[in-house]
Structure 1
Amino acid sequence: MGLCRFGRLVKGVGVGRRRPFATSSSAAGGDEMIVRGTGSKSLNLYSAINQALHIALETDPRSYVFGEDVSFGGVFRCTTGLADRFGKQRVFNTPLCEQGIVGFGIGLAAMVVIPRSPLQAKGLLLSCIRDPNPVVFFEPKWLYRLSVEEVPEHDYMLPLSEAEVIREGTDITLVGWGAQLSVMEQACKEAESDGISCELIDLRTLLPWDKDTVEASVRKTGRLLISHEAPVTGGFGAEISASIVERCFLRLEAPVARVCGLDTPFPLVFEPFYMPTKNKILDAIKSTVNF
């Protein structure tokens, strides 16, 4: 998945990978319409996160950044310039101990948030930092430099625990989060060419997740497909599936589909076989609609 930040604020490490990214065709709607306007700049995801951290430290003296390598910018440069501007008492390195950092930073997390794009990342990260509850904020690593869009330079926040319908449809509901949204959108576009209308929802917050938005969509379409990179067994898609079946059992026209990672470790060379790709999602869309 990527780096994660906690409450007021922590960093982890990881290695990214390249894959094509396409911003949602509906990116000009919803929350983006609220924050767009004058003073925007084309930013990638890591730059948007860096900008949000600058704003957080500048506007709240109680905020601080600690973690591995953060004082000199971090492996992915997300904390570049923070120590020089705000001092080493507020931006400092910790020993190499991820479990200790997480425990010190959050205790027990009340929220889990994963953005899909730079604009979303900045607004959601500022909301996480300012929320009174501890929050784990995951950053999809391969989007750090591949995902680029116009991001307002001013201070703004996006709502937590509110899913966003980024593509409306009538035949099937697709639910995902983070980097997987770009893959799912590609599948939606190909399904549309076959006459299948897909509604695509970005969950954004996994805990607590927006059950009402997903339920309303499934009651409209009668079908649900969930996709995430984690293995299918024990993945969060199972929780979504169980909850929606409880709420929409009499409305469902097909079993809930899950297109996820495989239940097995894999070497990097076999990653294409492991990942929930566009074609896997497209096949599941067709089989669910034709059930």
Structure 2
Amino acid sequence: MAETTTQTDSAAIPAAAAHPRKALQGPPYRDFVKAVTDAKAARNYLEVGVHNGSTLALIEKPAIGVDPNFVFDRNPVGRKRILHLFQMGSDEFFRDYDPRAIFGAPVDVAFLDGMHRFEYLLRDFMNTERVCDRNGVILMDDCLPVNLEMTERLHRPEQRQDKALAGWWTGDVWKVVTILREYRPDLRITPVDVVPTGSIVVSNLDPSSTRLADAYFEIVDRFAAQTLTPKDYEAYWKVNRPTTAAALLNDFGLSLHVRP
């Protein structure tokens, strides 16, 4: 995960929406990330939010991993020839280092799985797009929450009604998808059916764009207090109805868009 925070949030998730769940039945997100990297024939790979290295270990390309607290329970190198690890927050990393200089090329595939607060993911996206190849791909994790309770900003498992999923927490990173659709309509945004909480594949990148940076404080002020009502939750899923991982991977160049 990216930087931690002590901020709390008193807004409660509506109890009526605690139990209904959405069904995601695709492959595990780690396998999907690897498959995208392979389908892209990526030269390199950047991961923010490494944790125990379970995703990073699958990647066979030269890679950078960023996390403030590595807790490896496996060898993260795998079959990679080169792996750069930075034990620091993502804001600090992007301030002090340039992946393009480390790789000798722009980033081809990035996977963002850091702190589950929208402002952190938004900054990670902004900083990552800036160092990506124009034809690169950014994958954002946890943006298809399968119940409403897990979208709270402060993880409070003891207050959950859906006890079976009380340990799951996506936070409010779902807001970033909504933000990108509004502020960056030039991007291609493809929600994908992978377990446990989906993947958002973002393509048609523009590393020169400053639209998000220019509007950053406006965006934070607008979205910070927003929560999802049951009606909002259903509307979000309608807009972001996921395509299958197989459909995207079978026609990688053409299928990076929302399924009609």
- Same topology, TM > 0.5: no
Looking at CA atoms only, which structure, 1 or 2, has the larger radius of gyration? Answer: 1
Which has the bigger relative contact order, CA under 8 A and spacing at least 6? 2
Higher relative strand content: 1
TM-score, normalised by the number of residues in structure 2:
0.31
TM-score, normalised by the number of residues in structure 1:
0.29
